[in-house]
Amino acid sequence: MRKLLAVACLLAVTMVQAQRALTTAPSGGNKKAVVGERIGITDVTIHYDRPGVKGREGKIWGQLVPAGYTDQQFGSSKEAPWRAGANESTTIEFSTDVKVEGQPLAAGKYGFFVAYGAEECTLIFSKDHTSWGSFYYDPAKDVLRVKVKPVTTDRSVEWLKYEFSNQSESKATVNLFWEKLDIPFTVEVDLIQTQLASFRSELRTDMGFFWLGWQSAAQWCVDHNTNLTEALQWADTATGAVLGDLNFISLSTKAQVLAKLGRRDEAMAVMKQAVPLGTMNQIHQYGRQLLTTKKNAEALEVFKANYARYPNQFTTLMGLTRGYSAVGDYKMALENAQKALPMAPNTLNKTSVEKMIGQLKEGKDVN
């Protein structure tokens, strides 16, 4: 009896396995594809199948891809849009909340459909991203619909494809290209809020047990001139007694936050702590930053301090050249430039110094 039961079970398993399809290329030669891009820190990923024109030029739009909604004579949908590809449903996934054509769409994975029109296309983002094609399309599951204008192109695209264009730090255009048509739509992220939310989350993990994470978050806020009050708390942690470290990077970031908040005396006091801890190049770059904000006298003092620590170096001599030139002492600037010239590390630097020497001899500022 046990042997018969075992044989029956084996036959049942064998029959089930026999019904499983082998892995082969998609039917009709339609290629599976995935394309994605990061906008800010938001990942946008599209999975789709690529149908080909296959000699059907002029018969794709409005024919193979019907206008509006149609009854495909299969499945539950009697008014189905195009699946925006071939075979399975096209899906699009966003790792954070976004705006599509200016309309909000929550983070998540969506079935993507298109109701085609020669003058206007309706793009549909559906909660149903697992059903095959659009045979079971249900408008009740729509999360977002937006309307866009299709664009006729000169170049024919044989295999349907999605691409990203017009990229910026917080925005990109997604283009659906097939035959001689482009269906574009914009995806925009709230870079500031998504980045800040990410910082707050990550700083609660093991990344928050080292000063560099707090400093990096604070510096990002300085660079984007945002969230400065919280950035100062992060900078305080980066320089604090528990997790912090007093070094040029951590202190200079704190000073930058204070300066952005208008607390300039405190910022200068912190930088006085930072300068003795900096490398030659770090101090030199700080002096250059002061020059760009027209704090010429302060810049000269920084360049002098750098030279005192690293005398007779090309970098520190060039710092004195720029510092003296900025305050109008062209004689001292020329003297230091002439000392720096034979130390120039390469032809480009040598040419630059020679140009400065010429300017200083004419009584012109080199900055």
- Sequence spans of domains, the chain: 25-189, 192-361
CB 80 within 8 A of CB 65: no
Token couple for 242: 């528990």
Closest CA to 93 of 162, 183, 167: 162
Task: Give the pLDDT confidence score for residue 317 in this predicted structure.
Answer: 96
- For the cut 80, the answer to whether the pLDDT of residue 132 exceeds it is yes
Q: If you average pLDDT over every residue of the chain, what do you get? A: 93
- For the cut 70, the answer to whether the pLDDT of residue 58 exceeds it is yes
Task: Give the pLDDT confidence score for residue 50 in this predicted structure.
Answer: 96
pLDDT bin (cut points 50, 70, 90) of residue 96 is very high
Question: CA 338, 339, 343, 349 torsion: positive or negative?
Answer: negative
- For the cut 70, the answer to whether the pLDDT of residue 202 exceeds it is yes
What CATH number does the domain located at 192-361 have?
A: 1.25.40.10
Torsion of CA 301, 305, 306, 309, to 10 degrees: 170
Name the pairing type of β-strands 98-100 and 171-188: antiparallel
Task: Give the pLDDT confidence score for residue 149 in this predicted structure.
Answer: 98
Closest CA to 276 of 258, 311, 254, 251: 251
CB 41 within 8 A of CB 194: yes
Task: Give the pLDDT confidence score for residue 9 in this predicted structure.
Answer: 45
Backbone angles phi, psi at 349, to 5 degrees: -65, -40
H or E segment to which residue 12 belongs: helix 2-18
Which whole number is the average pLDDT over 5-29?
A: 56
Task: Give the pLDDT confidence score for residue 20 in this predicted structure.
Answer: 62
- For the cut 50, the answer to whether the pLDDT of residue 264 exceeds it is yes
Which whole number is the average pLDDT over 189-194?
A: 96
Which whole number is the average pLDDT over 230-253?
A: 96
- For the cut 60, the answer to whether the pLDDT of residue 323 exceeds it is yes
